[in-house]
Structure 1
Amino acid sequence: MNIDWAALGSVFGVSLAATVALVGLFTLGVVGLSKQESATRGGSAALARSGAYACFGLCSAAVAYGIYLIVI
């Protein structure tokens, strides 16, 4: 049995980077929704909400693409 360590390391690196990016994007969405109340006083509540929804949409798109790659 021969293990291609370079390919294994590459898959590990890409999956680690994708995981960190996806979790970071979701965190930005949660922070955007939590800052919505304080942004109401400043008048930028719609911007905070739309930014949070955009982050959640990108997370959903990334998960859907991952499921697509697994199914196909």
Structure 2
Amino acid sequence: MKRTPFATIIVLAAATLAAPAFAREDGPRFAQDRLDALVAQHKEASRYIAQDSRAQAQARTQVKTRHDHAS
């Protein structure tokens, strides 16, 4: 397929004019939303880790209690 200079110019012009349509215009707002999402994920992960730590501590206490009663 042979390209003509006119077709190349049309494609380049269309690509150049279409690029701003796909650009993000909400820079600071997007950054704040992303930060809020990351903070929420961190909070949830911290809660999960704390629950897991408490569960492990309870399990160790139960094992220790059983071991003390068996002795």
Normalised TM-score (structure 2): 0.50
The structure number with the bigger radius of gyration is 2
Matched residue, 2:13: none
> What does 1:1-72 align with in structure 2 at a 5 Å threshold?
1=21, 3-40=25-62
Percent identical among aligned pairs is 10
Three-state SS of the structure 2 residue aligned to 1:3 is coil
Which structure ranks higher in relative contact order (CA pairs < 8 Å, sequence separation ≥ 6)?
1
Moved more, 14-23 or 29-38: 29-38
In 1, the alpha carbon distance for the partners of 2:37 and 2:28 equals: 14
The one-letter code matched in structure 2 to 1:37 is A
Stretches (4+) displaced over 2 A? 37-42
Cα deviation, residue 28, structure 1: 0.6
The one-letter code matched in structure 1 to 2:46 is G
RMSD (CA atoms): 1.9
Cα deviation, residue 3, structure 1: 1.4
Normalised TM-score (structure 1): 0.50
